[in-house]
Amino acid sequence: MSVQVTNCNFSIEVQENFQLNQVLRVLDVVNQENKVDCTMVESTYPAGLFSIELDSTEKNCELVLRGSLDYENRRNYNITLTLVI
């Protein structure tokens, strides 16, 4: 079996008042035997607004809110992630 991420293409709605450091989405990685490396390679947002990190098991990736959202200035953000096994 090959390593895969479930729900590769997704949209999430994030409220402007979400807490900083809140996990917005867990990207489930299936069929992996080793630690995964999650990397954000492309985005349309200010640096530091979002991050991608390993979860506590080092088997899945988490999209985390790192900065405050301001919907008066911007309503949509596009992010492309890369998963390395």
pLDDT of residue 21: 94
Note the pTM of the prediction, 2 decimals.
Answer: 0.74
pLDDT of residue 6: 52
Q: Which residues contact 81 (CB under 8 A, 6 or more apart)?
A: 27, 38, 39, 40, 41, 52, 61, 63
pLDDT of residue 72: 85
Question: Taking the alpha carbons of 21, 26, 32, 36 in that order, is the dihedral positive or negative?
Answer: negative
pLDDT per residue rounded down to tens, the chain (85 residues): 455 555 556 677 887 788 999 998 888 777 667 777 777 766 666 678 888 888 887 778 888 999 888 888 887 777 777 666 5
